[in-house]
Amino acid sequence: MATPPVSTTPSATPAANGPATSAAVPARSSTRDGGSSNLGTFGVKSGLAQMLKGGVIMDVVNAEQARIAEEAGACAVMALERVPADIRAEGGVSRMSDPAMIKSIVDAVTIPVMAKVRIGHFVEAQILQSIGIDYIDESEVLTPADEEHHINKHNFKVPFVCGARNLGEALRRISEGAAFIRTKGEAGTGNVVEAVRHQRAVMSEIRKASVMNEEELYAYAKDIQAPFHLLKEAARLKRLPVVNFAAGGLATPADAALMMQLGCDGVFVGSGIFHSGDPAKRARAIVQAVTHYNNPKVLAEISEDLGAPMVGLTIDANLKGGRLASRGW
């Protein structure tokens, strides 16, 4: 499904304004030297996410893995020091990665490079923006730095992706300036069940909202704690007003295709690739699965002989490292 077009006027750049609606998302932008162009508008922030659609974003911990991911067809890489499965196993506080390590990955590949900051840690975000990272993930996988506030993402030229478990959470993040949403899933488990739950919740709530009249939408906005204008926009478009990827627990090509058929625009794969038996082969298979997600014949071919998948964890009260998806407010 098409993500809605960006507005053409730099002064009011909503993510998704139809011909008859007012600006849904405010623009923050700075002007280039000559005064005739605009940097960091919401249009170019959400636009980069649109270019990533139908693609796979892979977690990598060093330049060598980043190169493997690029050769396997990743549309972007997420640079981090420990993949979620290791964060779970090792415990402790997880923070933004060393900028030197992130820069070595930026230098190694030509595709966009993303990196994670802790929820609410706007200084980590300032640091990543200054080294020229392409996208920031304000991520529940790291230990939150603020248990009440998220980063005001409008203040940045660099775009942000944020996790969400339901429609209200997704729209709150968009109202804070996120240009890209992903399901939270349950990272580092190799278990897709939570990502499915979150994607189904978002789609079901949008379908519900799409048949409501305005009075009902006002009440529903209060109910799910979402800004009314963004809820109205999602109801009109019958989808989130920004690009929406799956993340958290995906481990196989079939997992990726499942999330695409549930309405996601693309997928993140974290521990699932480099914790598997044959990372290059599995990565390439997942990339193909996202393109041919509606073609079971192709999916069968690419799912053959992939070697061992990552070890999966059941998600219950004993889950080591606890439930990461409950972080975020």
Partner 1 sequence: MDAYQPKKDVIVGILALQGAFAEHQVALQKLPFQKKVVIVLVRVADDLARCDALIIPGGESTTIALLARLAGLLEPLRTFVKRKPTWGTCAGAILLAQAVENTKKGGQELLGGMSVTVARNGWGSQVESFEAPLLVDGLRDPDQTFPGVFIRAPVVMSLDPKPEDPPVEIIARLPAGVLPHAQKLVSSDEDDTDPRDPRTIVAIRQGHHMLTTFHPELTKDNRFHEYFVRACVIPSLP
Which residues does the annotation mark as catalytic? 116
How many residues at the interface with partner 1, by CB under 8 A?
A: 58
Q: How far is the CB of 172 from partner 1 (least distance, A)?
A: 24
Q: How far is the CB of 110 from partner 1 (least distance, A)?
A: 5
Give yes or no for residue 269 binding partner 1 (CB under 8 A).
no
Q: Which is nearer to partner 1, 58 or 250 (CB)?
A: 58
Q: How far is the CB of 100 from partner 1 (least distance, A)?
A: 17
Q: Is the dihedral of CA 318, 264, 56, 292 positive or negative?
A: positive
Q: How far is the CB of 65 from partner 1 (least distance, A)?
A: 14
Give yes or no for residue 234 binding partner 1 (CB under 8 A).
no
Span interacting with partner 1, options 87-95, 198-206, 285-293, 306-314, rule CB under 8 A: 285-293
Do residues 52 and 264 make contact, with C-beta atoms less than 8 angstroms apart? no
Q: How far is the CB of 114 from partner 1 (least distance, A)?
A: 10
Span interacting with partner 1, options 35-43, 86-94, 224-232, 246-254, rule CB under 8 A: 35-43
Q: Which is nearer to partner 1, 180 or 220 (CB)?
A: 180
Give yes or no for residue 303 binding partner 1 (CB under 8 A).
no
Give yes or no for residue 53 binding partner 1 (CB under 8 A).
yes
Give the residue, chosen from 12, 40, 278, 309, that forms a contact with partner 1 under the rule CB under 8 A. Answer: 40
Q: Which is nearer to partner 1, 43 or 248 (CB)?
A: 43
Site for partner 1 in 87-126 (CB under 8 A): 106, 108-112
Q: How far is the CB of 192 from partner 1 (least distance, A)?
A: 21
Strand-pair partners of 56: 267
Helix 279-291 × helix 63-71 angle, to 10°: 40
Site for partner 1 in 131-150 (CB under 8 A): 132-135
Give yes or no for residue 65 binding partner 1 (CB under 8 A).
no
Site for partner 1 in 151-210 (CB under 8 A): 157-159
Give yes or no for residue 28 binding partner 1 (CB under 8 A).
no
For every residue of the chain, which 3-state class applies, written as one string?
CCCCCCCCCCCCCCCCCCCCCCCCCCCCCEECCCCCCEECCHHHHHHHHHHHCCCEEEEECCHHHHHHHHHCCCCEEEECCCCHHHHHHHCCCCCCCCHHHHHHHHHHCCCCEEEEEECCCHHHHHHHHHCCCCEEEEECCCCCCCCCCCCCHHHCCCCEEEEECCHHHHHHHHHCCCCEEEECCCCCCCCCHHHHHHHHHHHHHHHHHHCCCHHHHHHHHHHHCCCHHHHHHHHHHCCCCCEEEECCCCCCHHHHHHHHHCCCCCEEECHHHHCCCCHHHHHHHHHHHHHCCCCHHHHHHHCCCCCCCCCCCCCCCCCCCCCHHHCCC
Judged by the rule CB under 8 A, the positions of this chain that interact with partner 1 are 1-3, 5-8, 10, 19, 32-41, 43-44, 47-48, 50-55, 67, 70-76, 106, 108-112, 129, 132-135, 157-159, 284, 287-288, 290-292, 295
